[in-house]
Structure 1
Amino acid sequence: MTTQPTLPKEGGKAGEPGNPQSSDGLKAGLKNRHLSMIAIGGVIGAGLFVGSGSGIAAAGPAILLSYALVGVMVVFVMRMLGEMAAAQPTSGSFSAYADRALGRWAGFTIGWLYWFFWVVVLAVEATAGAKILEGWIPAVPQWAWALIVMVVLTATNLASVSSYGEFEFWFAGIKVVAIGAFVVVGLLAVFGVLPGSDNPGHGVAYLTDHGGFFPMGAGAILTGVLMVVFSFMGSEIVTLAAGESEDPQKAVTRATNSVIWRIAVFYLGSIFVVLTLLPWNDESIVDKGSYVAALDSIGIPNAGRIMEVIVLTAVLSCLNSGLYTASRMAFSLGQRGDAPKAFATTSVRAVPQKAILASVLFGFVAVFFNYKWPDTVFAFLLNSSGAVALFVWLVICVTQLRMRGIILREAPEKLVVRMWAFPYLTWLTIAMITFVLGYMIYDGGDAREQVLLSLLVAALVLAVALVRQKLAPRRGAADEAQSGTKESVTRS
């Protein structure tokens, strides 16, 4: 019979003198400014810059409602995750909480699925960054750029957690400044304040002038949801990183409280600017990309090149965070006995070196598949990890339903972040995520393939988890018997 882990006992904050490590043995090397920027930049993925044009073309101005619906869902999920992370900060985050609240099978399954998602993302982002760099310096082949990018960021993660934090601080900072400047300049142009702009306020009419606010019908909102939902993945990274920060509870609380304005400004604000600078059906939005087209429309010189730099930064940020996240999840799985024990060891710099190398190794394999068999093997990897984001959010919701009671029973003083209107909003979020998954299957095409293949992989991982759990008591009895034999021999 296995015993459940308890919440961490009270003690000094990680990072204080005499307590240099986090609760799970990693070095508390992330400063508050690192966590703040990781939290802000975590919601700004490359998908926002690259994929928003397709969403606008599919739903028209109603794409704003698609972003708002997904944004509300993410806010609720982050609030739930923040509640658990503030009470029990750990590098395993939702996987460790699922292990505690739902059973070892749940933590094992969602932990490995999440790891699988990020090692595939490593290949996607490395290839995307290599394409941009090859365009700038064609003498270096694309595969070489992908290798260079992966090696540099692997070295950064291996050096120390503070190196990861410093790189991410500047990557995220560039994204935040770029989006903030885009929103400010765009709004000045829309309302005729920007020098050279005219027809003040006319841009707002673009929201209804070309076929109304719902040119594709109200149902297009759901189509838009399917297209934008995955661009929000990564907002949960801050709760994994909080375990290696100076003050995890404070960091999680800040990140959770600020998620609303981050989504409002960076997603809704920037898409609103695009839709009020250009008609939604302008072909350049898809051909050039929504942000480049918007900048071109107000005469910003070299808009395409500027956006390439920003997209490259977003790609490198995602790659950096993806490697960090995958390695910390592998580390946590190793600690709980759900992965090789070597993953739970740390180097002299207190980083999980073997977990990092194992994660990047699979990332390199995925990159190879992307170059060798992009339409078969890599397409399968991509689609089979496509719905994992929604699975993760669903598990977070279900876990929080159980963890609230555990926290109140064992350490009520640690419930400093609370999910609003519990349990009603939790159940509403579960219903929303389930509906999105169901609509993806109903909608058909790539969305259906992603859900079905992701369910297939999830079922396989779950089967392994259940077999391991069934065999665990037998292993435990055998180990106990062996231990008893050794003890008898020693005494005699």
Structure 2
Amino acid sequence: MSRTSAPPPVDRRPADVTLSHGLKQRHLSMIALGGVIGAGLFVGSGAGIAKAGPSIVIAYALSGLLVMLVMRMLGEMSAANPASGSFSVHAERAIGPWAGFTAGWAFWFLLCVAVGLEGIGAAKIMTGWLPGTPEWVWVALFMLVFCGTNLAAVKNFGEFEFWFAALKVGAIIIFLGIGVLAIVGALPGTDAPGATNLTGDGGFLPMGAEGLVVGLLASLFAYGGLETVTIAAAESEHPVQGVAKAVKTAMWRIAIFYIGSMAVIVTLVPWTDPMVVEKGPYVATLDHIGIPGAGEIMNVVVLIALLSAMNANIYGASRMACSLVARGQGPKALGRTLGGVPRTAVLVSSLFGFACVLLSYWRPDDVFMWLLNMVGAIILVVWTFIAISQLILRRRTERDEPERLVVKMWLYPGLTWVALAGMATVFVLMAREPDTRTQLYYSGGLTVGLAAVGYLRQRLAARAAKPADDTA
């Protein structure tokens, strides 16, 4: 090939494990779109509003900026090297096997615990509609449904997520539309609130910088879920093009869905309204402007968000486990595939999640809280591995295979260092706040423990390989 000839189209398959490629572009686009809309946004954001007041908009904007940078870095690496292990594979290539082991198993643990939490949340909604029914029965039913979905062909997972995401996106768009009409006074029976709720009750920063910090920490962890699209991309028809398109549109999704929603809520509802926490900010807003049946409507939406997250997290956990096993980083039984689906990993991940649910009933005050604290800061650990890996791999890729850089991190390496500085700042802020300090310590303990095991495995593997090299 001459120097001036164009390189062939890049459409590599994942290098870490052989899976099916049943996800279509529409599945991938909707998984990326719905991945940013979870129960943390619909319900959990109320606690942040109660702590930060109207400045929650700034908190979500700052945390959203950090997430945008992380997704751009992850998108760059995933488009260059699509793999079902995503950032775990990138960390292994950039830093070493111990890093891939640590990032991968920490994320698997996080997803499995999250499956249990989402099952509990969905069961509470069902028992509210059907009093007297046991919560654990609903959790078991949901687990069976989504375990079955993930045991079948990957296109079934894609179809479930496509429609779940479509419903969530539709709900957010309708909410934003109604909210904007209410703000401008165009909704029948409502008057434009102006800036009353933004500047009253203590002003835009009613709790000062401390409230903004608490709101920032609360908002940051609501963005979890975006990473799944880079895992799913490896099983799409065109991994490179799919992940590139999904990541490039992540910015406006974050701005509209998260920051836009918070702006509408704090403009329409006083941040001191206790209903913002008790019912959730979306229900409180719809009730405030007189939308009939708002509570039940939003309960349906939250239920959909929880079930969607369960489905996606079982999928993500199973693919991460399978990828780790394929790279020699876990028990071989977890890596068994049938029909292109890692069915053993799906079953084990689902069972682990259900075990977390049982612990919430049997040992709610010690073992279950211990699990929750261990996963509290894991997503920040994963993001740190992503940033460090991107710093290293970008340099290598530019030198050896520049044609693979279909997606590029902006202003490299400057913004990567800015992102790392932002993560370090969040770690410091977590250490300062009593509510998050325990999570930081427990998550740090899990990370150090996994890193020690991973490093020991790496040293043993290198020692075992050395005699073979000497005799070759």
User: How high is the TM-score relative to the length of structure 1?
Assistant: 0.91
Verify: 1:346 aligned to 2:337, yes or no.
yes
Matches within 5 A, 1:140-219: 140-198=133-191, 200=192, 202-219=193-210
1:233 equivalent to 2:224? Answer yes
- Could you tell me which residue of structure 2 aligns to residue 53 of structure 1? 46
Q: Tell me how far 1:366 sits from its aligned partner.
A: 1.2
Alignment partners' CA distance in 2, 1:67 and 1:289? 17
Q: Is the contact between residue 22 and residue 28 of structure 1 (CA under 8 Å) also seen in structure 2?
A: no
Q: How far apart, in 2, do the equivalents of 1:142 and 1:26 lie?
A: 35
**1:104 aligned residue (92, 97, 100):** 97
Instruction: Indicate if the aligned counterparts of 1:22 and 1:245 stay in contact, CA closer than 8 A.
Output: no
Q: For residue 478 of structure 1, report the CA deviation from its aligned partner.
A: 6.5
Partner amino acid for 1:137? L
Which one of the candidate residues 460, 466, 481 is aligned to 2:449? 460
State the AA in 2 paired with 1:271. Answer: M
**What is the aligned partner in structure 2 of residue 488 from structure 1?**
none
Partner SS for 2:202: coil
Task: Determine which of 306, 320, 324 is the counterpart of 1:329.
Answer: 320
- Listed one character per residue, the Cα deviations across residues 270-308 of structure 1 (whole Å, up to 9, x for unaligned) are 111111111111222122211111000111111111111
1:304-343 deviation digits (Å, cap 9, x = unpaired)? 1111100000000110011001001001101100011232
Measured on the aligned residues, the alpha-carbon RMSD in Å equals 1.7
Opposite residue 343 of structure 1, the aligned amino acid is: L
Q: Which amino acid aligns with 1:251?
A: G
Give 1:360 shift. Answer: 1.2
1:319 paired with 2:299, answer no
Name the SS for the 2:415 alignment partner.
helix
Choose the corresponding residue for 1:269, options 237, 260, 273. 260
After superposition, residues 27-426 of structure 1 pair within 5 angstroms as 27-198=20-191, 200=192, 202-347=193-338, 349-426=339-416
Aligned mates of 1:398, 1:12 — CA distance in 2? 25
Give the deviation of 1:11 after TM superposition.
7.6
Conservation of the 8 A alpha-carbon contact between 1:60 and 1:214: yes
The structural deviation recorded for 1:212 is 1.1
The alpha-carbon deviation at position 471 of structure 1 amounts to 0.8
In structure 1, distance between residues paired with 2:311 and 2:408 = 30
For residues 172-193 of structure 1, give each alpha carbon's deviation from its aligned partner in whole angstroms, at most 9, with x where no partner exists. Answer: 1111110110001111011011
Aligned-pair identity in percent equals 50
CA shift, 1:13, in A, is 4.1
Asked if the contact 2:14–2:84 (Cα under 8 Å) also holds between the matched residues in 1, the reply is: no
CA distance in 1, matches of 2:58, 2:199: 14
Q: Does 1:451 align with 2:440?
A: yes
Change (3 A) 1:298 1:104: same
Deviations 1:419-447 (A, max 9, x none): 1111111001100001101111112x230
* Structure 1 pair 384–295 and aligned structure 2 pair: CA distance change class (3 A): same
Q: Which moved more, 1:274-283 or 1:63-72?
A: 274-283
d(CA) in 1 for partners of 2:268 and 2:398? Answer: 50
Name the TM-score, length of structure 2 as normaliser. 0.95
The residue matched to 1:235 in structure 2 has which SS?
coil
What residue number does 2:3 align with?
none
Question: What are structure 2's unaligned runs of at least 5 residues?
Answer: 1-6
Q: CA deviation at 1:10?
A: 7.0
Q: Give the distance between the partners of 2:456 and 2:10, measured in 1 at CA.
A: 39
Residue pair 1:126, 1:146 contacting (<8 A) in 2 also: yes
Task: Look up the equivalent residue of 1:386 and give its one-letter code.
Answer: G
What code does the residue aligned with 2:329 have? D
CA contact (8 A) 1:190 1:204 kept: no
Does the 8 Å CA contact 1:54/1:286 hold for their aligned counterparts?
A: yes
Q: Please, which moves more after superposition, 123-132 or 359-368?
A: 359-368
Structure 2: distance between partners of 1:407 and 1:344: 29
Distance 1:40 1:326 in 2: 20
Work out the CA distance in 1 between the residues paired with 2:447 and 2:208: 34
